[in-house]
Structure 1
Amino acid sequence: MNIALWIVTGLLALAYVAGGTAKLVMSKQKIYASGHSGHWVEDWSDGGVKAIGALELLGGLGLVLPALVGIATGLVPVAAIGLGVIMVGAAVTRFRRGEVKLVAVDFGYLALLAFVVWGRFVVEPFTG
């Protein structure tokens, strides 16, 4: 189970670090132009998009860094909870916009984050 948790957590961390970094460095217009999945930025200010990017980047790092350095490992599931909150917000935004297929993707991420929370709080918590 520990290996499965590391794999899922690592993949999620890569996705959130990449996505968060992109939101921080790309303009809102460039995100919009990147395709249908980027049209949500219409509902957010430039600062809001950058804030979401910063939170995703920090959450992605929080999924792996505490465990890798062995300090405050209890923050791993906490980071997953925080990213879960972001994904609920993403799903609500997409649902309001009628982007139902993308809501399913958001719920997929939410399910993987829930797996990490459950796994690291209950099944295989990090022990010092």
Structure 2
Amino acid sequence: MVYDTARQLAQEIAESREYKDYKQAKEKATANETTAGLLKQYHQLQLRAQAVQLGGEKDDALLQQLQKLGEVLLLNQEASAFLLQEFRLNQMVGDVYKILAQAIEVDLGILEEA
């Protein structure tokens, strides 16, 4: 029953406005090879920055590189729209995770500060 409910939730997320907007914005942004490459680089830098932060360290050069690339992407209408829709989708999925975690009393740690 739990897995059936999870499948139903996955289907509802796939049919949500947030996911549809995300998917459409991603298609537009990645249609341009240069923009797609910059977005890939941006996501890789985000992951590296998160890993450094989780390790309790700080890499100012990495954060500056991430910020500069983010500024470049925000100047591109398709990339900017994609990043906004990605944020909205991630926010919804994060909210769902918080609801699930609260129901089973899982400590969210860093997520509760967000």
Give the structure-1-normalised TM-score: 0.32
Larger Rg: 2
Q: Which has the higher contact order (CA 8 A, sep 6+)?
A: 2
